[in-house]
Amino acid sequence: MMSKPRTGSPQTATPRQKAWISRLRPELHRFFPDEERHLDIRVAGPPDLRTYSRIYPFTILADGLPLTDILVKVPHGRKVADVERALRAGRLLMQRFAPEPHLNVPRVLGRWQDPPALIMEKAPGDPLFLRLKDCRNWAGEAGCQLAQHFIERAGRWLALLHETPAPAWARPAPDPIEKMETLLPKLRGHGLDPVEEKRLREQIGVLGAAQRPDAIPLHGDYTLRNILCQTPHEITVLDTELAIRGDPALDIGWFIAAVRFIDKWHLFAGEMAYTAAVIRQIEEKFLRGYETIRALPPAAIIRAYASLRLLERWVEYAEYQQTRNIAGLRNLIIRRVNQHFVRASLRR
| Domain co-membership, 136 together with 184 | yes
| Domain co-membership, 281 together with 183 | yes
| Domain co-membership, 87 together with 24 | yes
What mean pLDDT is predicted for residues 122-140?
88
Q: Give the confidence band of 28 by pLDDT, cuts at 50, 70, 90.
A: very high
| Domain co-membership, 76 together with 150 | no
Q: Is residue 203 included in any domain, yes or no?
A: yes
Backbone CA torsion sign across 169, 174, 175, 176: negative
**Residue 18 near residue 138, CB atoms below 8 Å:** no
Domain-ending residue, one of 121, 150, 168: 121
Q: Is 8 left (phi over 0), alpha (psi -120 to 50) or beta?
A: left
Q: Is residue 2 included in any domain, yes or no?
A: no
Using the predicted structure, report yes or no on whether residue 43 has a pLDDT greater than 90: yes
User: What is the overall mean pLDDT for the chain?
Assistant: 88
| Domain co-membership, 160 together with 249 | yes
Which pLDDT does position 60 carry in this prediction? Answer: 98
Q: Give the confidence band of 264 by pLDDT, cuts at 50, 70, 90.
A: low
What mean pLDDT is predicted for residues 269-288?
82
Which pLDDT does position 77 carry in this prediction? Answer: 72
pLDDT in tens, 153-168: 999 999 999 999 999 9
Amino acid identity at 12: T
| Domain co-membership, 116 together with 201 | no
Q: Distance (Å, rounded) from C-alpha 229 to C-alpha 154? A: 9
| Domain co-membership, 198 together with 212 | yes
Using the predicted structure, report yes or no on whether residue 142 has a pLDDT greater than 60: yes
Burial of 88 (0-12, 13-18, 19+ CB in 10 A): middle
Q: Is residue 1 included in any domain, yes or no?
A: no
Which pLDDT does position 13 carry in this prediction? Answer: 86
Using the predicted structure, report yes or no on whether residue 226 has a pLDDT greater than 90: yes
Domain of 183?
126-346
Longest dimension (CA), the chain: 68
Q: Give the confidence band of 232 by pLDDT, cuts at 50, 70, 90.
A: confident
| Domain co-membership, 322 together with 308 | yes
| Domain co-membership, 168 together with 60 | no
pLDDT in tens, 100-117: 989 999 999 999 999 999
| Domain co-membership, 222 together with 105 | no
| Domain co-membership, 76 together with 139 | no
